[in-house]
Chain A
């Protein structure tokens, strides 16, 4: 039997009006891993911010750190919900509870720590209090901390039903099947203002979950990814896998629930010393056998804004990374210059189509249509993981193994630092999803199978060496060389690097005709006689030395916002190049 609510909470509901906006329904994956101690996937924990409340579901390894990375004080969680009692869902609890009580701004909890969970929750918490009693009894007199802030209130339930209701936010628990021995095990559904989010908890394929999740906008589901070879190799792995849901089974769940977006979290990746992990991308392909709707492989600190559509964002709290990514994409890499389609009449970006692709880029070698790089999961790159996006940018290989083709400057982006690559992905995650299917590009040149060995770690380039840094800005990030170097037999001719002379005849279908300039410091053929200011004016305003307006093939409006430091670096680098002119090739 289930008694739904303490009287006090019900009264509160009557007194509070329902908040009008559904905009603040935000779900963040604090940890997407399992028990294995790995740095990029912390233990299971999911934060739901809704109706002005912060609800935490499970608290695995590192949950306190992830909250901190989001600039959320540990004391700010209103309620913690436990799905079951496996330790990987619980080991982060003591840190949030105890550190959230300390004097710094991340702490200062002065009211009891409230935890909801199945029968057993009270015992867990009572014993944690006993275990850490000395910490409590030392700190109260020593640091003058409020005793109420370290108290715990446990709310237990033992059957399906509503377990929490406050200011229009309703949390419903439903039993799931995590194995015969692992009972109780629950999933949760959070309802608010007509929207619903479901967190599966740890479970095998379970009809009760499907019933409880019906009509949900977002479903966060666990999954196990293991090769058949590994399953065949040991009883141990078969047993672990049998406690979880396979991608094919999850596909059935998603197909029946039909959410606006399905997300994998608590990703159990199994391998042994001799049998490697299955590539993460196969999660998608295997799920696709039963489900063709929107699907994302979760990553730590990925957030989902649940509105009419669902927006996926990356590490929102890492302001420095987002700021760097914004700078790069909106200035020097100028991704929109190709990826945002322009109106042929006005040459302005088509409204609402930022980064949605379909923009035609035509040269002798190809007629390419820029891909949709918005966060739309079906037609854009919203379903790709951060690492997959980075590999696509730098290695020029998509998650399905296919080649990213010209004019995408992957050969130049290979030397992009890991930090900048992550910064760019962080920015891309903020792009509004736009549904737009892009037509197939045509190539009239042979394409290589790849652009070289796998990129791996790339450190940042020090600004202490102005030429090296200038090369990084110009050659790597700005990929200037890509257009300013002539082609021979369909390939860039690096014996004539930056010597210009390529003709871009109506490349964008916007009527622009341009010939790329020799940007080596050759006094006659190049820019050797140009002043620093003349070079910078050409880059940022599209005005040549003689005052002529340059055709808009280059991304002048983007370069206009380059930092003074980076402009200086570009000039320094260009001046360091060997002066070249036709007939004097290297």
Chain B
């Protein structure tokens, strides 16, 4: 028989699917005492093969942490050469589609060969993240069940989520790495967070999607690396186009990025989640991005780099761009 079903928009009224526990295993990291940061995606919802949507990978000691999982995050993680087998920790800044559409791929492909993740996918994020993971688990229930029947046993745990809702000041600690969530301002209260990652005295801060925000300055003060988002449109476009004005108003403009950098003085600032408009709409060209960079450089003379997909940094005694 055929069903024709119009699905509603109701929110799932589930409880917290995960736990708030944080493990404080202060293990010394083997080898390097630096943090490696890889920009997996530096874009937005825009369909731009040059800039996949937002995702950042952090490697510090034994910890491998993914921040947001936008379009093609799994593909980019594979290309970055990261150890996918270890990829089971995902922090979400907020739940806009471009930051989360890559989750099903990361979660489900990570379970398969050659990654074989046999541990649950741990996800941290703002209120609503529990519904996100519960919904995905249910949506892909059919596949999950087949895979469990096929591979089963100890590996079955790899098909599950462990979800944690973060709040301003929430910390995760493991293997000498500390991640602190701090609230930023995007579309409303409690909906968007930035993250500070600390390891052996090094600090990396991810702004997440936010308007100019004092909380970013506070946490990024003296950081080694600040990954900040930016949105730029020429004045006329903002004045003439309501949608452009609205999008710009939800993000940090180049002059404001410069202000933040002037006060926070990170050793290096990198721009990711890059929104650029021209007079006629989105401008995905390198020229448009360069215009945006000029505005920042006009107001800030310190080190600042335009992020590119798969650009990587080693944050040690110095902050070095690896490619």
The complex places the Cα of A220 from the Cα of B268 at a distance, in Å, of 50
Q: How far is the CB of B134 from chain A (nearest CB, A)?
A: 7
- On whether the beta carbons of B113 and A90 are closer than 8 Å, the reply is no
Nearest CB to that of B144 among chain A residues?
Answer: A87
Nearest CB to that of B282 among chain A residues?
Answer: A104
Complex contacts, A139 vs chain B, CB 8 Å: 96-97
Known: A37-B75, A87-B108, A106-B47. A130 touches B135 (CB 8 A): yes
- On whether the beta carbons of B7 and A152 are closer than 8 Å, the reply is yes
Q: How far is the CB of A547 from chain B (nearest CB, A)?
A: 47
Chain B residue total in the interface (Cβ 8 A): 60
Known: A65-B49, A65-B71, A112-B6. A135 touches B96 (CB 8 A): yes
Fill in one digit per residue for A108-142: 1 if any B CB lies within 8 Å of its CB, else 0: 00001000000010111111111111111111001
User: A-B pairs with CB below 8 Å: how many?
Assistant: 196
Nearest CB to that of A114 among chain B residues?
Answer: B4
- On whether the beta carbons of B79 and A134 are closer than 8 Å, the reply is no
Nearest CB to that of B110 among chain A residues?
Answer: A37
- On whether the beta carbons of A6 and B4 are closer than 8 Å, the reply is yes
Q: How far is the CB of A131 from chain B (nearest CB, A)?
A: 3
Q: How far is the CB of A319 from chain B (nearest CB, A)?
A: 14
Q: Does A94 contact B (CB under 8 A)?
A: yes
The complex places the Cα of A98 from the Cα of B103 at a distance, in Å, of 14
Q: How far is the CB of B149 from chain A (nearest CB, A)?
A: 5
Complex contacts, B12 vs chain A, CB 8 Å: 130, 133
The complex places the Cα of A68 from the Cα of B72 at a distance, in Å, of 14
Known: A86-B143, A138-B187, A156-B2. A123 touches B138 (CB 8 A): yes
- On whether the beta carbons of A104 and B281 are closer than 8 Å, the reply is yes
Q: How far is the CB of B276 from chain A (nearest CB, A)?
A: 13
- On whether the beta carbons of A132 and B97 are closer than 8 Å, the reply is yes
Complex contacts, B4 vs chain A, CB 8 Å: 6, 153-155
- On whether the beta carbons of A130 and B134 are closer than 8 Å, the reply is yes
Complex contacts, B250 vs chain A, CB 8 Å: 142
The complex places the Cα of A142 from the Cα of B46 at a distance, in Å, of 18
- On whether the beta carbons of A85 and B11 are closer than 8 Å, the reply is no
Known: A3-B2, A99-B98. A142 touches B9 (CB 8 A): no
- On whether the beta carbons of B100 and A61 are closer than 8 Å, the reply is no
The complex places the Cα of A132 from the Cα of B2 at a distance, in Å, of 26
The complex places the Cα of A2 from the Cα of B2 at a distance, in Å, of 7
- On whether the beta carbons of A182 and B146 are closer than 8 Å, the reply is yes
- On whether the beta carbons of A85 and B142 are closer than 8 Å, the reply is yes
Q: How far is the CB of B92 from chain A (nearest CB, A)?
A: 11
Q: Does A177 contact B (CB under 8 A)?
A: no
The complex places the Cα of A137 from the Cα of B79 at a distance, in Å, of 34
Q: How far is the CB of A558 from chain B (nearest CB, A)?
A: 33
| Cross-chain contact of A64 among B3, B47, B128, B187 (Cβ < 8 A) | B47
* 20 pairs, A vs B, C-beta closer than 8 Å: A3-B1, A36-B114, A37-B74, A39-B79, A65-B72, A68-B47, A68-B49, A98-B97, A99-B97, A104-B281, A104-B282, A129-B8, A131-B139, A132-B97, A132-B100, A133-B135, A134-B128, A138-B191, A139-B97, A143-B243
Q: A residues engaging B (CB < 8 A)?
A: 1-3, 6, 35-39, 61-62, 64-65, 67-69, 74, 85-88, 90-91, 94-95, 98-99, 102-106, 112, 120, 122-139, 142-143, 147, 150-158, 163, 181-182, 236, 239
Q: B residues engaging A (CB < 8 A)?
A: 1-12, 45-47, 49, 71-72, 74-75, 77-79, 95-98, 100-101, 104-105, 108-109, 112-114, 128, 131-136, 138-143, 146, 149-150, 187-188, 191, 243, 246, 250, 281-282
